[in-house]
Structure 1
Amino acid sequence: MVQKYRNYRIYINDSSLFIADSFPDEDLGLQLIDVQSFDFSTFYKNLEKGGSMHYLLRCEDPKATFKLIKAQCVLIKAAGGLVQSEKGNYLFIFRNKKWDLPKGKVEKGEKMKQAALREVEEECGVKILTNDEKLCKTYHIYELSGKVMLKKTNWYSMTVKGQPKLVPQKEEGITKADWYGKDSLEPLLTNTYQLITDVLKAGKLL
């Protein structure tokens, strides 16, 4: 029996690192990294700030390799939602000068799915009707107080009753929250994070 390993994609600023046992379907002009000499700390330090490069660390056991990288980071768990209204539109927020989806950190003792619902309701001032299937997980690395943080975010499919007025949580840096149809996403996609496009693909919007 051939064991199938899970593949990973870690976002680092505008760049990303694939950890996989084969080449991804996406044609991103991946730069292949030698797994024998790979050291995550050195890779991260040498990664060009503000650049947009995509790397592939091809290995026999992506899960084990990912665990080695995770061990060198501080793990942060977060959860968020892709929310659809009864009119078939989707909820987006504008935070830190980019279009985003509502999400936030998981509190102690809280389950991921519960955290996703709470964060969406707090950040957008809405009442979630259904909190359905998990769409995907995303991984994002950033630096905070000299430490390398790995944020793991679980994303869930959600719905609301009708299409309620949104109240952005300004204390969380959210300056706008609005509903957008599937056919009107193009302007948002030019100013969003790459990992958000993964969530939209998982939700079959792209």
Structure 2
Amino acid sequence: MYKVFVNDTPIIITSSLKKENNYLAYRFNEIVFDEILHQLKNNTINGIILYSTDLEQDWRIFTQNLKVVPAAGGLVLNAKKEVLFIYRNNTWDLPKGKIEKGETIETAAIREVEEECGISNISIDKKLLTTYHIYNQDGLNLKETHWFLMYSDYQKELIPQLEEGITQVVFKNKTEIEAAFQNTYANIKLVYDTYQET
């Protein structure tokens, strides 16, 4: 299954015929890509399910319409099991960024967390998941973000990367995370839920 967000509305591409969430449902081979995006951008629907008979082939077809932008980031825990958050564009987020040419996904994830948060002593525990969202910038882009569970024992002051629009960097406990989730992206909740399930 693939879940792609447009704003915070999901397109679910799946081979499962199970109906969920009162989303509109279509067969993948019967859709008009631009019409679906138009519906999602105008927030006229809660979500769309696309039924696929060949998930990997249909995913390739789906991504042909988009410029894929690979990125990597981390859900970083400290010794108290608090989660590292950044505040950018008036929204709580997790640190992440584009993978540079010649970089491994893991190296990019650590570099982005270090740069955006002014933190060091980061280690990767494991891969959590890959999230997808579509945005419009010089055409349609599909940001494909590889997320890792990370740890750091860093004790010094965290420094937000102001030139990237980040104004706060903070470790949050469970109660603070719930409050932050009133003002975050659906993908970030997905990353946190995946971590909670591990």
- TM-score computed with the length of structure 1 as normaliser: 0.89
Give the corresponding residue for 2:150: 158
Give the corresponding residue for 1:129: 122
Distance 1:92 1:47 in 2: 28
Give the corresponding residue for 2:140: 148
Give the corresponding residue for 1:3: none
5 Å matches for 1:1-206? 7-23=1-17, 27-50=20-43, 53-145=46-138, 147-204=139-196
Letter in 1 for 2:111: R
Return closer, same or farther for 1:24/1:87 CA change in 2, 3 Å cut-off: farther
Letter in 1 for 2:163: E
CA contact (8 A) 1:106 1:112 kept: yes
Distance 2:39 2:122 in 1: 46
Shift of 1:42: 2.9
3-state SS of 2:183 partner: coil
Shift of 1:155: 0.3
CA contact (8 A) 1:128 1:158 kept: no
Shift of 1:162: 4.8
Distance 1:53 1:164 in 2: 43
CA contact (8 A) 1:14 1:50 kept: no
3-state SS of 2:112 partner: helix
Structure 2: gaps (5+ residues):
none
More helix by share: 2
Shift of 1:52: 5.8
Structure 1: gaps (5+ residues):
1-6
- TM-score computed with the length of structure 2 as normaliser: 0.93
